[in-house]
C-alpha cells in the first residue's frame, strides 16, 4: 500500500478519502467546547514489528502501563524498536510490559522511522497480533502545523489557509471528544487528516494556525465534525446523504461557483467489467456477467444516490457512496458522475473530488483570491455556525 504521506505529496490537495468513503463515522453529531487546549493522540504507525528511534538530547523512558520511569537517557540514533512476546525491545534492552513511552526533554527532537515529531511517543504492543503501534501525543496546535501542509498548498492565500486551519482544528477537537475510550484520537493517514509530523511544517501554514489559534466552529454552542473535501464542483452535499448526521451547518446546498478552476473539477474513470465483477463477488453481491450499470436515483445535491448493476444472474441496487468504497475513492473521485458501458468497461464521467460535505478546499482558494475573509468563507460552507475561541469556556 502506498503511504498516505506519499499520496499527499503527489496530490497535495488529497481529500480525506476515508471521510468520503464513510470510514470515519463519528458517534455523536456534536460535542462540548473544551476549556483549554487539549492534547491529541495520533496513530503514526501500526502493525509494525520493527522501527527505528532517534532522540536528540535528553529523554525519559517510561514503562507502560503506569508510566514508571525506567531510564533517564541522553541521545540515541536509529535504535531498533522490536516487538517481543513480553514487551518491547529498544536496542539491546527489553522492557517487559504493554509498551514504552519516550519523553524527550526538548520539543521536536524525537524521530521515528526518520520522521520528526513534536511531543511524546508511545510504542504499544498490539493485543491481537505480534506487532506494535505508535501513538504520538502532542498539543493540538502543534498537530495542526503538521496537518495543514497536506490538506492545502502552503503557498495559498493566508485567508484560505486560515479557513482550513479552523476547520481542521474543529474536526480534530471533535475527534478527541468522541475517541476518549479509544487508544488514539486520529490516524495519521487519509482516514483522518493526513499528518506528517513536524518534518513537514511550513512557515505560512504555521502563520495561519497561529493567526487563528484556538478558534473553532460551533453550532448552538457545540463543536461539530467540520468536514471538508477537495472540490465540490458546483454545490456542496448534505452530511445526511452519507452519514446519520443532520446539523444545520452540514446540510449542504452551498452554491459554490468558486472551484471551477480546480484541476479536480472533471474526472473520468474506466473500470473493466471483469474488475467490477470481481468486486461484486468480493463484497458478496455476485450478479454474473455484467450487462448494464446505471444511476437510478440522485441525492438532493445532484450526486448519484444509487446504482443498478444488471448481470446475467441477477441485478443489484447499490448506494453510490458504497460503490465508491468498493471500487476505490481514488478511481471514483466523487459520486457526482454519470456512467455507461463500452465494450468491456464501465466508463464514468464525473465532477469534483471527495464527499462534497462542508468546506470545498478549491472553492476556499477561489474565495480567498476574490478577497473573502476566512470568517466569510467558513460562514459560506458551514451556514449557521460561528467562529469562537475554544478556551473561552
Ligand atoms: Zn466548490
**364-388 per-position pLDDT tens digit:** 999 999 999 999 999 999 999 999 9
Whether 158 and 227 share a structural domain: yes
Confirm if 88 and 125 have CB atoms less than 8 A apart: yes
CA 357 – ligand 1 centroid, Å: 10
pLDDT computed for residue 28 by the predictor = 55
Query: What pLDDT is attached to residue 200?
Result: 63
pLDDT at res. 192: 56
Do 342 and 363 fall into the same domain?
Answer: no
pLDDT for residue 298? 95
Please give the distance, rounded to the nearest whole angstrom, from the Cα atom of residue 336 to the centre of ligand 1.
13
Same domain assignment for residues 178 and 120: no
157 and 285 housed in the same domain? no
pTM over 0.75: yes
Per-residue pLDDT, 188? 78
pLDDT (0 to 100) of residue 26: 43
What is the Å distance from ligand 1's center to 101 Cα? 43
Can you give the pLDDT at residue 203? 79
Q: Is residue 205 part of a domain?
A: yes
Mark whether 110 and 199 lie in a shared domain.
no
Burial of 313 (0-12, 13-18, 19+ CB in 10 A): exposed
Alpha carbons 336 and 224: distance in angstroms, whole number: 25
* 361 and 214 both lie in a single domain: yes
Flag whether 341 is in a domain: yes
pLDDT digits (tens, 9 = 90+) for 107-152: 778 999 988 888 999 999 998 889 999 999 999 998 998 888 777 8
* Cβ-contact 14, 8 below 8 angstroms: yes
In a domain, 137, yes or no: no
- 228 shares its domain with 372: yes
Residue 349 CA to ligand 1 centre (angstroms): 18
Q: Give distance in angstroms: CA of 17 to centre of ligand 1.
A: 16
Within this chain, do residues 283 and 380 fall inside the same structural domain, yes or no?
no
Residues of the chain where predicted confidence (pLDDT) is lower than 50: 1-27, 392-393
pLDDT at position 149 is 75
Give me ligand 1 centre to Cα 373, in Å. Answer: 16
Both 155 and 243 in one domain: the answer is: yes
Q: Nearest 10 degrees: CA dihedral of 100, 101, 106, 112?
A: 60
Query: Residue 232 C-alpha to ligand 1 middle, in angstroms?
Result: 4
Q: What is the pLDDT of residue 196?
A: 67
Confirm whether 327 is domain-assigned. yes
d(CA 359, CA 357): 7
Q: Flag whether 9 is in a domain.
A: no
Domain range for 79 is 50-130
Ligand 1 centroid – CA 366 distance (Å):
9
Q: What are the grid coordinates assigned to 139, written together?
A: 498539543
Last residue of a domain, one of 130, 157, 181: 130
Q: Do 364 and 331 lie in a common domain?
A: no
Within a domain: 5: no
Number of domains in the chain: 3
Same domain assignment for residues 279 and 219 = no
Last residue of a domain, one of 99, 130, 161: 130
Per-residue model confidence (pLDDT) at position 330: 87
Cα 12 to ligand 1 centroid, rounded to whole Å: 17
Residues in contact with 312: Cβ distance below 8 Å, sequence separation at least 6, in sequence order: 287, 288, 289, 291
How many A from CA of 229 to the centre of ligand 1? 9
Q: pLDDT above 70 covers what percent of the chain?
A: 87
Q: What are phi and psi of 30, to 5 degrees?
A: -155, 155
Amino acid at each position: 500500500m502506498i503511504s498516505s504521506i506519499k499520496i499527499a505529496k503527489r496530490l497535495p490537495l488529497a481529500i480525506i478519502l476515508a471521510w468520503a468513503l464513510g470510514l470515519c463515522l463519528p458517534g455523536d453529531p456534536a460535542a462540548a467546547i473544551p476549556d483549554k487546549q487539549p492534547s491529541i493522540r495520533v496513530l503514526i504507525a501500526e502493525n509494525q514489528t520493527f522501527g527505528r528511534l532517534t532522540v536528540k538530547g535528553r529523554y525519559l523512558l517510561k514503562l507502560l502501563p503506569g508510566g514508571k520511569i525506567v531510564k533517564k537517557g541522553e541521545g540515541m540514533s536509529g535504535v531498533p524498536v522490536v516487538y517481543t512476546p513480553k514487551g518491547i525491545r529498544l536496542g539491546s534492552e527489553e522492557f517487559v510490559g504493554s509498551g514504552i513511552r519516550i519523553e524527550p526533554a526538548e520539543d521536536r527532537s524525537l524521530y521515528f522511522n526518520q520522521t520528526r515529531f513534536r511531543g511524546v511517543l508511545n510504542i504499544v504492543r498490539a493485543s491481537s497480533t505480534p506487532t506494535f503501534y505508535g501513538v504520538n501525543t502532542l498539543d493540538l496546535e502543534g498537530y495542526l502545523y503538521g496537518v495543514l501542509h497536506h490538506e492545502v498548498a502552503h503557498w495559498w492565500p493566508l485567508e484560505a489557509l486560515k479557513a482550513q486551519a479552523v476547520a481542521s482544528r474543529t474536526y480534530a477537537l471533535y475527534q478527541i471528544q468522541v475517541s476518549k475510550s479509544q487508544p488514539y484520537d486520529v490516524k495519521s493517514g487519509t482516514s483522518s487528516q493526513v499528518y506528517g509530523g513536524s518534518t513537514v511544517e511550513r512557515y505560512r501554514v504555521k502563520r495561519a494556525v497561529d493567526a487563528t489559534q484556538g478558534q473553532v466552529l460551533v453550532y448552538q454552542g457545540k463543536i461539530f465534525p467540520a468536514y471538508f473535501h477537495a472540490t465540490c464542483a458546483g454545490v456542496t452535499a448534505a452530511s445526511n446523504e452519507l452519514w446519520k448526521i443532520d446539523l444545520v451547518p452540514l446540510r449542504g446546498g452551498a452554491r459554490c461557483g468558486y472551484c471551477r478552476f480546480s484541476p479536480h473539477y472533471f474526472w473520468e474513470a474506466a473500470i473493466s467489467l471483469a474488475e467490477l465483477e470481481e468486486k461484486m463477488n468480493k463484497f458478496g453481491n455476485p450478479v454474473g456477467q455484467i450487462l448494464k450499470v446505471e444511476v437510478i436515483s440522485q441525492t438532493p445535491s445532484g450526486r448519484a444516490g444509487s446504482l443498478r448493476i444488471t448481470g446475467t444472474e441477477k441485478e443489484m441496487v447499490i448506494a453510490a457512496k458504497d460503490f465508491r468504497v468498493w471500487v476505490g475513492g481514488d478511481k471514483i473521485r466523487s459520486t457526482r458522475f454519470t456512467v455507461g458501458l463500452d465494450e468491456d468497461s464501465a466508463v464514468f464521467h464525473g465532477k469534483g473530488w471527495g464527499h462534497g460535505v462542508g468546506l470545498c478546499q478549491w472553492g476556499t482558494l477561489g474565495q480567498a483570491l476574490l478577497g473573502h475573509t476566512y470568517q466569510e468563507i467558513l460562514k459560506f460552507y458551514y451556514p449557521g455556525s460561528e467562529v469562537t475561541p475554544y478556551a473561552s469556556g
